[in-house]
Amino acid sequence: MNQHPSPDPSETQTFVDLSAFLPKRTWQERTGEAISGWFRELLAGGLLRRWREARLARRLSRKALRAYETVRAANPNLSGDALYVKVIEYRTGRNAEFARGIVSGAARSYAEWPVQRALTFRDVVHYMIVSDYLAAADAPRRWTSVDVRRLVSEIVPPRI
């Protein structure tokens, strides 16, 4: 019979098992946390942002088209840049100088480069949407994630 001598109380070390106080996590829980973190980042960082930008572009395109139709009906003799200035004044409530600045910016951005061509209302709407988005205080970036031109083209007819 082999008996162990009882330990000397002065030589024993105190060991406290803290694992009882820690939450038990399975590999499924750890994997789930990784997946939910990835999914949260996908929504917040990409998918949700693109959805919001697309929704904003479509909504502003519809508003611009309604403003165009209203101004055109009230001023059938206007066309081109003069009509676009009036539409911007009507839509934004700002003065003609501001509206001319928008039309000028749209012309520089879309009608003069890469090739010179006539300015279209689609160009003006595209410029207004991107400018509004980038000027917003809560814009998460300094560029857009969606193809604004394509979204504007879905709503604004090409010949106006």
Which sequence spans correspond to the domains of the chain? 28-155
pLDDT tens column, 50-77? 888 899 999 999 999 999 999 999 999 9
Q: What is the pTM of this model?
A: 0.70
For residues 102 and 130, is the Cβ–Cβ distance under 8 A?
Answer: no
**pLDDT grade for 140, boundaries at 50, 70 and 90:** low
φ and ψ of 139, to 5 deg? -65, 125
- How many whole angstroms separate alpha carbon 122 and alpha carbon 153? 7
Residue 19 has pLDDT above 70, yes or no: no
Name, of 23-27, 38-42, 58-62, the range with top average pLDDT: 58-62
Q: For 21-25, 49-53, 117-121, which range has the lowest pLDDT when averaged over its residues? A: 21-25
Q: 61 — alpha (psi -120 to 50), left (phi > 0) or beta?
A: alpha
Residue 50 confidence (pLDDT): 85
> What is the residue-averaged pLDDT of the chain?
83
Q: What is the arithmetic mean of pLDDT over 84-112?
A: 95
**pLDDT grade for 154, boundaries at 50, 70 and 90:** very high
